[in-house]
Structure 1
Amino acid sequence: MSLLPALETPRQKADFMRVAIVHHWFVGYRGGEKVIENMLELYPDADLFTLFWEPDKLPEVFRRRKVTTSFLNRFSIFKRNHRLALPLMPLALEQLDVRGYDLVISSESGPAKAVLADPEAVHICYINSPMRYIWDMYHEYRQSMGWLQRMFFTPLAHYLRRWDRSTSMGVDHFVANSSFVAKRVHRCYHRDSTVVHPPVDMDMFAPSGKNGDYFFAIAEMVPYKRMDLAVQAFRGLDAKLKMAGSGPDLGKLRAMAPPNVEFLGRVDDDRLRTLYAEARAFIFPGKEDFGITPLEANASGTPVIAYRAGGILDTQTDETAVFFDEQTPEAVAAAVRTFMEREGGFSADALRANAARFSRDEFKRRFKAVVDGVF
């Protein structure tokens, strides 16, 4: 009998390790937080690290974790407006102490990958998007600012781009949430990445068997979501549009809306399920990094009308959606009319089967395979 200790296999190491999950901020429960929720099912003993932490806005699965926050979390002015803390975020992230962890998972559409992991640790970055406001949407954000904000933001963004690219060198492996984001990761950081799509909750959404008389859209009311296109497109259409969500553009959208567009504000889960399931189709006019809402519509048995660009090309085909190729109200309206002509040609079972390709179990299987492969 050998007295030598058994060698630890890579799979054993991946199963028995200390895990830190770093998320840019926990201030709500949206797509990024739902991805983290699934990671926590894979790694139930993982500790959380973040710039900002608002536990009252999160489910219990987050609140019972060990959480380490940055010094920025102590200042109410930064918690009210995260953008004001932008110049201090590099310093704050680098002070989060993730020493002693075997696996560091950073989750970001911001700067979370800047944490300083041990040399022996594996750092995997699950990236929803490189920071939009300093990369591909820099000019849109800059033009929306007043002259004083622009004066400070222009040199700051130049510095942040250099810093953001330098921090990518501390990542061992990038995991992108779509093919679209993988291309942007390569362009911004000159790094390859594995695509693992975010999960849709198939248990939450289901067809209802009832057919409503309206089209549906839900989004945060901010410029890049392009909800203005949907509002303007329904001016002159003999159809109703219901829009859920809130945000800084809501007042402007209400002011331009025709009578057949109804704003619902924030809706609870029960009403959201009904809105998806009974809608004639789901309207998705923006260019998104991934876009989970079209899959939630599919899981509800509802087809999609979408702009043919961005992450949605990973999830929708001509069998599940009607596409338009220009971001204009006229193009959206034409797509709605095309949908009306072929409305009976969509199968709720086929739509739900499409969504099932992006289930929670599938996400966990694919993400764990990446981690095990790196180890």
Structure 2
Amino acid sequence: MHMRVAVLHHWFVTRGGGERVAECLAALLPSADLFTLVSSPEGLPDSLRGRTLTNSFLQKVPGAIGNHRHFMPLYPEAARSLDLRGYDLVVSSDSGPVKAATLGPDAVHLCYCHSPMRYLYDGYESYRATMGSVTRGLFSVTAPRVRRSDIAAAQRVTKFLANSAYVAERIRSAYRREADVVHPPIDLHRARLNIPGEAYLAAGRLVSYKKTGLMIEACERLGRPLRIAGSGPEEARLRRMAGPNTTFLGALPTEALWDEYSRARALLFAADEDFGMVPLEAQSCGRPVIAYGIGGSLETVRGAGEEGDSDELPPTGLFFAEQTADSLAEAILRFESQEDRFYPEAAQAHAAEFATPIFLANMRREILGVMPQAEPWAASVDDAIRTVG
């Protein structure tokens, strides 16, 4: 029996956690063809170069690659233009739009969902509130149609996997579907230990929901040095509000970023994330995390004073309760008052629970669970690790 296998990913435009997941899925399924809405050379992981990759019609629309999020009204049609009829097994890495690809009636579709699209569901009103009047009007008209298409596509998925328990609940709310949890992979081979400095670190895209501004405000108020690794549309505004204690590093090469992790006093993390790999990357370098206590952070950080804080399971960070500079500043002072409770070895051991080999083993089991006959087309975990590094 010959089996046709496909890996489907929402887009390959920048390299982040979603692209790492897609890379790992492709490594587990080395004969799979790849499909996506849009792609750019810099967004394609090195191990996927040379693989058969099919883009949707959006690839040829001027401006769609760099501004793909602005083409939300075309997502349903773009996804359906990806013709996967004839494929027996489809494994998708999806943040919402691409699950609507055209599959044959007998295809098995395992969907690893990073999150239902927030701007269509629980974040709909807050996203609308940030838009200008014209954009808001267009969004209000087109979003319900895209939402209906997304919900309909979700009903055709054979099985959902979520990257966190937080996202599993959001899948249940948005799609009325259950999802098992498989945490995404962390690149522990990049981890290193260094003597930490005095500066706190914020890392990630400079976009509004990351709440970098409140981290700047808290550190400036306390007179604590803050180093910011990343770039994005919020950068100009953040630079205007920053004081002498804040240093902007820009978008760093990978090795330089991991050096920043290892030398930070602690990582500050103020976003309401579905999962969030940055806190685990910092912990893999032995550094504690001061995080907003909601969402994925509750699954990636073992908080001081929280359940599980014992001699056997020492904390790897602590949480602040409100997404405000006041709450974060209080948490920083609380951290400094008990800093000797946070051991690099404990943080590294906790991060190791999310290592890439664990993800690969879990996903291989899930793939063969929905389609046992795919065994001959599935790489071993060891072979997949050699592919992705």
1:57 Cα deviation from its structure 2 partner: 3.5
Query: Residue by residue, what CA displacement relative to the aligned partner does 1:48-86 show, whole Å, maximum 9, x if unpaired?
Result: 101101023433212211001111101222223213422
Are 1:361 and 2:357 an aligned pair? Answer: yes
Are 1:237 and 2:222 an aligned pair? Answer: yes
Query: Residue by residue, what CA displacement relative to the aligned partner does 1:141-177 show, whole Å, maximum 9, x if unpaired?
Result: 2111111111111021111121111111110100000
Conserved? CA contact 1:70–1:96, under 8 Å: yes
CA distance in 1, matches of 2:219, 2:171: 36
Give the letter aligned to residue 175 of structure 2. Answer: Y
Write out aligned runs for 1:1-375 (5 A).
17-208=3-194, 210-318=195-303, 319-375=315-371
CA distance in 2, matches of 1:60, 1:200: 17
CA distance in 1, matches of 2:42, 2:259: 26
Comparing 108-117 with 82-91, greater Cα deviation is found at: 82-91
CA distance in 2, matches of 1:127, 1:326: 27
Conserved? CA contact 1:116–1:170, under 8 Å: no
CA distance in 2, matches of 1:150, 1:78: 20
- Indicate how the Cα distance of structure 1 residues 66 and 252 shifts in structure 2: closer, same or farther if over 3 A, else same: same
CA distance in 1, matches of 2:191, 2:3: 34
1:235 Cα deviation from its structure 2 partner: 2.1
Which secondary structure state, in structure 1, belongs to the residue aligned with residue 201 of structure 2? Answer: strand
Give the letter aligned to residue 249 of structure 2. Answer: L
Query: Residue by residue, what CA displacement relative to the aligned partner does 1:219-259 show, whole Å, maximum 9, x if unpaired?
Result: 11111111111011112213211011111111111111121
CA distance in 2, matches of 1:153, 1:58: 30
Conserved? CA contact 1:235–1:258, under 8 Å: yes
Aligned Cα RMSD in Å? 1.3
In the superposition, the TM-score normalised over structure 1's length comes to: 0.93
Q: What number of residue pairs does the alignment pair up?
A: 360
Which secondary structure state, in structure 1, belongs to the residue aligned with residue 221 of structure 2? Answer: coil
1:17 Cα deviation from its structure 2 partner: 3.7
CA distance in 2, matches of 1:59, 1:285: 28
Conserved? CA contact 1:294–1:304, under 8 Å: yes
Structure 2: stretches of 5+ with no match in the other structure = 304-314, 372-389
Partner of 1:9: none
Comparing 35-44 with 278-287, greater Cα deviation is found at: 35-44
1:116 Cα deviation from its structure 2 partner: 2.1
Give the letter aligned to residue 71 of structure 1. Answer: F
Which secondary structure state, in structure 2, belongs to the residue aligned with residue 323 of structure 1? Answer: strand
Give the letter aligned to residue 192 of structure 1. Answer: E
Which secondary structure state, in structure 2, belongs to the residue aligned with residue 68 of structure 1? Answer: strand
Which secondary structure state, in structure 2, belongs to the residue aligned with residue 199 of structure 1? Answer: coil
CA distance in 2, matches of 1:224, 1:211: 28
CA distance in 2, matches of 1:130, 1:165: 10
CA distance in 1, matches of 2:351, 2:288: 11
Partner of 1:10: none
CA distance in 1, matches of 2:15, 2:26: 14
Structure 1: stretches of 5+ with no match in the other structure = 1-12
